[in-house]
Amino acid sequence: MTYGRVMTYRRALGGLGLALMALGGVLLLGQPEPWRIALWLAGAVVLHDGLIAPLVLAVGALTAAAGLRLTGVPRAALIVAGFLTAIALPPILRPGAPANPTVLPLDYLRNWLLAMVAIALVTGAYLGARALLRRRA
């Protein structure tokens, strides 16, 4: 693929992204209380940049200091855990019971913990199986 064609695709995707952002802004301003949605989105950015990304970087630094390479499946597991945490935190941190009990009917803290345990178990099983197969080979 030539450089000119790559730049054409990049510009087209950038234009599409700008158009979708403008559409999102128009839809946001059409809401009854757009400031609440904007505040929630800003909180998501702060949560990611202030908590999740530094935690992932810290785990990466600790594993590197321990002489382990964090690539492939372990890295993917951390990314998935970070995304699930970002999605699960609003219902987990919501104070009190909702006015409508059918809005948040599940035990989100328990389900988030189960998902984290499942991610850890699947990742550990994969790494263990891979280590066994390498020993046999």
Is the pLDDT assigned to residue 99 strictly greater than 90? Answer: no
Query: Mean pLDDT over residues 65-91, rounded?
Result: 84
Tens digits of per-residue pLDDT, 32-76? 888 888 888 898 889 889 987 898 788 878 888 888 777 788 889
Question: What radius of gyration, in Å, describes the C-alpha atoms of the chain?
Answer: 21
**Report field, pTM of the whole predicted structure over 0.75:** no
Q: Cβ(104)–Cβ(91) under 8 Å?
A: yes
Q: What is the pLDDT of residue 74?
A: 85
8-state DSSP, 21? H
Length of the chain: 137
pLDDT in tens, 108-125: 889 999 999 999 999 999
Rounded to an integer, what distance in angstroms lies between the CA atom of residue 105 and that of residue 71?
37
- Residue type (1 letter), 27: L
